[in-house]
Structure 1
Amino acid sequence: MTAAKNDGQRVDSRDLDIPEEPLAVSVLTGFLGSGKTTLLRHLLAHPAMEETAVIVNEFGEIGLDHLLVEKATEDTVLLNSGCLCCTVRGDLVEGMRDLYKRRVKREVPPFKRLIIETTGLADPAPILQTLMTDPLLSNRFRLDGVVTTVDAANGSETLDRQLESVKQAAVADRILLTKSDLVEEPARKALEQRLHSLNPAAPIYESVQGAVDPALLFNAGLYDPQKKSPDVQAWLKAEAYDQTDHGHHHHDVNRHDASIRAFCLTYDKPLDWDRFNSWVEMLITLYGGNILRIKGLLNVAEIEQPIVIHGVQHVFHPPVRLEDWPDDSRQSRIVFIVRDLKPEMFEHTLKAFNEDSSAPI
């Protein structure tokens, strides 16, 4: 099979650099001034981040001057670290599609990872939904995880005043506490506890002047390329949630994050898939905007292997069947991060959807 080049010449498609596996995408978010730019600068200079592409909004917001080696196009620069940085001023889907096509045509270096930096005021949920729903993107890219930067010096005040920062922390797979050298230990610990209450399963790491080991931030999502399977244990940590009171966290009710909570429901008996699916559809229809994330490992009746689910607001990944259970437990474990919704509602409605006279949950 051959493909046409822009100049009319023919090229064997075997010469095109089409990856066998979808490219890993990490979303880097965090409120204004939380250190995303400084973090990116250090990450892109790290040897482990070679063959990385970055999408940012404007070059003016990112200080990469000392890394530039040539300007490839108006919107793309090549870095001496082997990385690629491009700016997308319009639609993210078109930008990612164009970047991928240029990679296939070898108009840009053959990057193996993509980092999307959001603006400081962005809600990351629409980006996650885009990665899940666009047919081309979902076939070419896979969501690795969300990395959220939080300013240790101003983080508590930002969480008090800016709901966007609360959502950014709540949906994170990794939280990076920046500028921790500027605060006293009691204040830092109090902020860490607040972030842990928002998102119990997300590891919290510290960074000073952007310095951090990239291995701590990446390979955080559903899919572990080393194991060739969804790495459930890396993100579904049911033991991190307070199951005794269904995730009720006793912090200051005047804070915005009082409306956002994380909790985990567990069930010992196998779930009926059709009824469970109906329950999820009901949740999406009625409360989709307030369901920030759902992650689950399910024991489904008449299926020996576990089923993985992952959703963001109104959008869900197709269910994935694992080859085996990641541990000895056969419980269904479903993690929720929600806004203005009570855990009891989820527990009671799931029971109502699955309960019958012969097999109550």
Structure 2
Amino acid sequence: MTTTPVTLLTGFLGSGKTTQLNALLKSGALKDAALIINEFGDIGIDHLLVETSDEGIVELSDGCLCCTIRGDLVDTLTRLLNRARDGEPISRIVIETTGLADPAPILHAVMGHPVLSDLLRLDGVITMVDAVNGEATLDAHEEAVKQIAVADRVVLSKHDLAGDTSTIEGRIARLNPTAKLIKAPAQPKYIFDCGLYDPATRSADVQRWLNDEALKHGHHHHHDVNRHDARIRAFTLRSDKAVDAATLATFIDLLRSAHGPNLLRVKGIVRIAEDPERPVVLHGVQEIFHPPASLPNWPDEDRTTRLVMITRDLAPDFVEKLFDALVGNTKADTPDRAALDENPLAVPGYSGNFD
């Protein structure tokens, strides 16, 4: 809880990111926050502008620091953290991406940097979706599909113009059933504090964060192979058995090395054999995983290992069988452990062409 929370606001061109940001600014929710945007001109900050300070950081009258992404995002984040270290507190950081942006590189900067990952924590990915043009955008642009797949919250804009939004809402739910769907303009309480830690209780809220219950309701298959959606799968890996740390590391390393680009989002809590009363939290985006963190105790009565996986071009059966083989889950079609040790990718259902 001593780290600074980071919220990533993404969405395709015309999805309403600027409108949502302006609403947050007017609400006062960004007081003592830092906002990283692409262009000042799109954000209605003229009435809030106080002065331009060092290295392109603008101070707003509501107490928010605002700066554009110039060069390396890591440099921008470092400058902001240096200001915080020098006595100018920053309550949170909000990063707005371009409409065409793949969110993964920004998430990597927050989660995978050897220094920043100790000072920052990803609070959530908020993806804006245009209810009027969302269907066509998802059909035409794979980036838009990926933005939804990695989201913690999806905010549906222009729903008042679209009329019946059941089709686009259903498509969003199939792409990422664990993401909460909210209609714009989203209030700050629905956008912020959607990470593992609940600031109200100052404790971990695993059920809210994983939202793996959403994966139990129905089958989220994508039957239209002509859509980008057909490449995305969301599923949960579960085990009642404690997993030893070496086995967990092997499982993650195998997936990262062979299929890293296709692990769009991994979130989970693991019962570790070496210390079963202190679960380990995992959080990854593609090849980059945030340093694992141990909780002081289990936050609820459910003490099973749960890993929520959102993948692209990676069959759930393959991942599930690899996981079962490593942790010792008993299933009739689980490969022999000795065979797996000899060839880790010799798993039934894996054809070697998921890339």
Partner of 1:123: 102
1:332 to 1:97, Cα distance in 2 relative to 1, 3 A: same
Partner of 2:180: 203
Partner of 2:343: none
Partner of 2:129: 150
Distance 1:335 1:88 in 2: 31
Range moving further from structure 2, 149-158 or 320-329 = 320-329
| In the alignment, structure 1 residue 96 sits paired with structure 2 residue 70 | no
1:275 pairs with 247, 260, 265, which one?
Answer: 247
Output aligned runs, 1:44-83, within 5 Å: 44-72=25-53, 75-83=56-64
2:145 pairs with 143, 166, 169, which one?
Answer: 166
Partner of 1:4: none
1:60 Cα deviation from its structure 2 partner: 2.6
1:248 Cα deviation from its structure 2 partner: 4.3
Where 2:259 maps in the other structure, the secondary structure is helix
| In the alignment, structure 1 residue 189 sits paired with structure 2 residue 166 | yes
Output aligned runs, 1:1-361, within 5 Å: 21-72=2-53, 75-105=56-86, 110-185=89-164, 188-207=165-184, 211-242=185-216, 248-302=220-274, 303-355=276-328
TM-score, normalised via structure 2 length: 0.87
Where 1:241 maps in the other structure, the secondary structure is helix
* Contact kept in structure 2, 1:202 and 1:235, CA below 8 Å: no
1:73 to 1:320, Cα distance in 2 relative to 1, 3 A: closer
Distance 2:204 2:242 in 1: 21
Distance 1:154 1:51 in 2: 35
* Contact kept in structure 1, 2:178 and 2:214, CA below 8 Å: yes
* Contact kept in structure 2, 1:297 and 1:333, CA below 8 Å: yes
CA-to-partner distance for each residue in 1:114-152, whole Å, 9 max, x for gaps? Answer: 101111111111111111222331232221111111111
* Contact kept in structure 1, 2:222 and 2:229, CA below 8 Å: no
Distance 1:101 1:74 in 2: 12
Percent identity between the two aligned chains: 50
* Contact kept in structure 1, 2:117 and 2:290, CA below 8 Å: no
* Contact kept in structure 2, 1:242 and 1:248, CA below 8 Å: no
1:284 Cα deviation from its structure 2 partner: 0.4
Where 1:55 maps in the other structure, the secondary structure is strand
Matched residue pairs, number?
A: 331
C-alpha RMSD over aligned residues: 2.2
1:65 to 1:331, Cα distance in 2 relative to 1, 3 A: same
* Contact kept in structure 2, 1:24 and 1:141, CA below 8 Å: yes
1:177 Cα deviation from its structure 2 partner: 0.5
Where 2:166 maps in the other structure, the secondary structure is helix
Range moving further from structure 2, 124-133 or 287-296 = 124-133
Letter matched to residue 315 of structure 2: K
* Contact kept in structure 2, 1:49 and 1:214, CA below 8 Å: no
Letter matched to residue 117 of structure 1: E
Q: Unaligned regions of 5+ residues in structure 1, if any? A: 1-19
